[in-house]
Structure 1
């Protein structure tokens, strides 16, 4: 897993030109004055509440990475412009934290690969948007750790160790996004890692009304969705979206499982029209779920994106806390589940900003081209 200095220079120049030409919304159906104002309010909250060492009172590198991702999603670069300094502090906190093994987690070991995958994804995006050579070595070691810890069945465990079986789909999608993030900026990933991961993701799909051992032709006749664990585990909107994101980012665009899960996603988003969360800080879905729902819509694109993104966007805008003059409150969202306190507000606000900034297409992951045979095009 390596990128040369020449490749890096070429990639940086390419992305600089892309930012000027591609990083803009398609029209008012994607971005509204209200969503633009909400995004800037959210980024201001992140900047004002960060703290001098860039960590928002959290030792969770994944959450710190999400804060950095929010700034980058709006096109900001480290050290430059309105939000350049808080972005620089967040990246510095991450880049000063890897362990000798390359592991990007300083919190509970039970969160090793969750935080590692998310943080590696963020560094992959930063690698594609900046000229910061400090990222190269950290990112390279982080990717090697992902490959080394992949279970024999293609998944991953929460701890940074190699197991016979992976734990769940949420871990697989974290590593999938990290691998694709790196590949989009020119870093090579072993094809066998991708092949195994694709197989693992598909094994998390559970049909309703027919055995999982039935043929794919038979399974397609019935509804179904991705689940947390294999063999009919916990079903949720988050896992439906996570499975879609995995397959899309591995280039499996025509997999019939995608539209099965998109039907579930559209149905849940449609319900948001009936809910009122005006300025209460509660995102339309918890931050974890929203993060994947937004990406599933974007990655599938076309009619799916046009159909449901405006509904999701408006629900995010409506739920933002608006308290002018109150730096601790104005502009934030809370995570809604999994994380509380100020780190929970960091998580919720970072995801809210990320969703609102997606149409601007600054992040490399949002500028990626369609690839027809992902597993075979990897060197």
Structure 2
């Protein structure tokens, strides 16, 4: 079994929400309007739907801690921190539901065991963001977050990936699991926590192993760089979806590998897919991609910035605005979106599908606000150096 030191702990520095976006973000705002009056109204309607449907327990009737975390993330991304803002109470309720159900092992999953590391990674990421947005730190949230991060390190497989179930084995399962943990680990760093560098270094290697070029995988790296390619679901090159292309980009960015040549290859795939989207013409709540794919596509575009962000983000934003369900204000569906890919990604559709899709849509519409700690950071050279120190 792979042994590694576990060094997690709170740092002295406290992150606060800045009043101005980073300089890089300001320069981008000169080229196009990231936020429109229509997108602001759409975001407000989406948050209102989430608040109306949350319920007293704070979980939208779901025992999927990942989905409950996504509901909290929607509010957080719009600047509603725990206990603060119009929806501060809703954030508190959702976080309480997650935190109070942490297992002694640190695991954040109370549903199907096959969803251990899906739900755990996503819930840990959200807790990390909440931690970074809270001036007066919640000690219980801190303890749960610390235990959740230790579990991610403890169950990392020997090849650097992760399995669906929370246990360590020789080989990880697929890239969709790695990206969940990548975001959780980066969230920890952005929120003032330390991560063992060897965990990051192993994870970077695992993600690169999921890249496949349009040719013989035995080609040298220099030869692969000349050919089209993308990140795939499995190491053998299977599952070359838009979701996995975006997930791989997000992993590389979260781990500080900004100059990795694979990022550009995958951004070509992502940008082409976004530009091929038809315009939304009916308010049926459909999304430009399934919610899972959209979640990572939006982040990949934002993190890489530049031309991909300027060319593609307005298309996603305007599609969501045009497709949002708008009915009478008394309607239960007014302000939501539906996830046409819910069953594909392990959910059952219905109200959980609405929760997932609406949370992701709100997150995408709120990205330009840059309230989340993970959206405020520029390049993190120290994170990359820590990872490389583990070689």
Same-fold call, TM > 0.5? yes
Does residue 370 of structure 1 match 2:379? yes
Alpha-carbon separation, structure 1, partners of 2:60 and 2:118: 19
CA distance in 1, matches of 2:382, 2:231: 22
Report what 2:260 is aligned to. Answer: 255
Q: How does 1:269-308 map to 2 (within 5 A)?
A: 269-272=274-277, 274-308=278-312
Q: State whether residues 79 and 85 of structure 2, in contact with CA within 8 Å, keep that contact through their aligned partners in structure 1.
A: no
Indicate if the aligned counterparts of 2:160 and 2:199 stay in contact, CA closer than 8 A: yes
Of 369-378 and 164-173, the range deviating more from structure 2: 369-378
Q: 1:37 aligns with which of 34, 41, 48?
A: 41
Q: TM-score by structure 1 length?
A: 0.94
Report 1:4-15 matches (<5 A): 4=10, 7=12, 10-12=13-15, 15=16
Alignment-derived partner of residue 22 in structure 1? 21
The 4+ residue runs of structure 1 with deviation greater than 6 A are none
C-alpha distance in 2, partners of 1:69/1:327? 24
- Structure 1 distance, partners of 2:280, 2:147, is 45
Shift of 1:302: 1.6
- Residue 221 in 1 paired to residue 239 in 2? no
Q: Which moved more, 1:184-193 or 1:25-34?
A: 25-34
Q: Residues 192 and 36 from structure 1, CA distance in 2 versus in 1: closer, same or farther, beyond 3 angstroms?
A: same
Q: Is the 8 A contact 2:8 2:194 kept in 1?
A: yes
- Corresponding residue for residue 105 of structure 2: 101
Aligned to 2:201: 195
Deviates more, 1:75-84 or 1:41-50: 75-84
* TM-score relative to the length of structure 2: 0.91
CA distance in 2, matches of 1:248, 1:150: 20
Q: Which one of the candidate residues 73, 80, 84 is aligned to 1:76? A: 80
- The C-alpha deviation readout for 1:194-224, integer Å capped at 9, x for no partner, is 000000000000111x211111110111111
Distance 2:8 2:43 in 1: 35
- Taking the aligned partners of 1:277 and 1:3, their CA distance within structure 2 comes to 50
Offset from partner CA, 1:16-40 (integer Å, 9 cap, x none): 4x1x222897366200000000000
Structure 1 residue 324 displacement after superposition = 2.9
Residue equivalent to 1:352? 361
Is 1:144 matched up with 2:150? yes
Contact 2:326 2:335 in 1 (8 A): yes
Whether the 8 Å contact between 1:284 and 1:290 is mirrored in structure 2 is yes
Bigger mean CA deviation after superposition, 275-284 or 245-254? 275-284
Matched, 1:330 2:330: no
Spell out, residue by residue over 1:339-379, the C-alpha distance to the aligned partner (whole angstroms, 9 max, x if none): 30111100000000000000000000000120236342368
Q: Is the 8 A contact 1:75 1:362 kept in 2?
A: yes
Gaps of 5+ in 1: none
Provide the rounded CA distance (Å) in 2 between the counterparts of 1:372 and 1:77.
Answer: 28
Distance 1:354 1:371 in 2: 23
What is the DSSP-based 3-state SS (H/G/I as helix, E as strand, rest coil) of the residue aligned with 1:21? Answer: coil
2:351 aligned residue (342, 346, 354): 342
Report what 2:67 is aligned to. 63
Deviation (angstroms), 1:277: 4.4
Paired residue secondary structure (2:230): strand
Mapped partners of 1:276, 1:43: distance in 2 = 21
**Deviations, residues 122-179 of structure 1 (Å, cap 9, x unaligned):** 0000010012232110000000000000000000000000010000000000000000
Distance 1:286 1:53 in 2: 27
SS, match of residue 276 in structure 2: helix
